[in-house]
Amino acid sequence: MMNRRDLLSHSAKLAALLATTGLLPGVAHAAYNAAAFDAKTMADLMKALGAGTPTESKDVSITAPDIAENGAVVPVGASTALAGVRKLAILVEKNPAVLSALFEVTDSVDANMGTRVKMGQSSNVYAVAIMADGRVLYAMKEVKVTLGGCGG
């Protein structure tokens, strides 16, 4: 792990660089897909992403706990060993909007993304892989969200 001081001074330089160019070096960023993040169902989401009908697949894995001690932080991972993955998505079925995170992967990273999401209640959680050949594959797991502590 790098020294924190170095990290700070380095990032200050970087920030200065970015400020002068006004651009991130070499980043062609897709515009934020607001429609996808408004989608209430998996079907709506696929429409917003311009993707086909998803099918369950053993080649896609979801990592999530059986029980979450608190819904504010639920660790979720999506991965697949398949080649030709374009996007990986993490969905929570019963959240007000189903999509939590959408990753655009390149050949320079494993198709294996981990993050943490909020869950309002117990729900199915999905890892979805959108493939270069148009296939949409998913894995699903139920996560129980428990009430904890004194509750006051």
Q: Of 32, 50, 53, 134, which lies in the binding site for another protein, with binding defined by CB under 8 A?
A: 32
Contact 120/138 with Cβ under 8 angstroms? no
Binding of residue 124 to another protein (CB under 8 A): no
Contact 123/147 with Cβ under 8 angstroms? no
Whole-number Å distance between alpha carbons of 33 and 22: 22
**Tokens 């209430």 sit on residue:** 40
Contact 87/130 with Cβ under 8 angstroms? yes
Three-state secondary structure call for residue 10: helix
Q: Of 20, 58, 108, 133, which lies in the binding site for another protein, with binding defined by CB under 8 A?
A: 108
Q: Of 44, 61, 93, 116, which lies in the binding site for another protein, with binding defined by CB under 8 A?
A: 116
Binding of residue 24 to another protein (CB under 8 A): yes
**Tokens 């917003």 sit on residue:** 48
Contact 64/74 with Cβ under 8 angstroms? yes
- The size of the interface with another protein (CB under 8 A), counted in residues, is 65
The 35-74 site mask, x for binding another protein (CB under 8 A), equals -xx-------------------------x-xxxxxx-xxx
CA separation, residue 108 to residues 7, 26, 86, 105, 147 (Å): 24, 15, 12, 8, 40
Binding of residue 125 to another protein (CB under 8 A): no
Binding of residue 101 to another protein (CB under 8 A): yes
Q: Of 99, 129, 136, 139, which lies in the binding site for another protein, with binding defined by CB under 8 A?
A: 99
Binding of residue 11 to another protein (CB under 8 A): yes
Instruction: Compare residues 74 and 129 and give the one whose CB is closer to another protein.
Output: 74
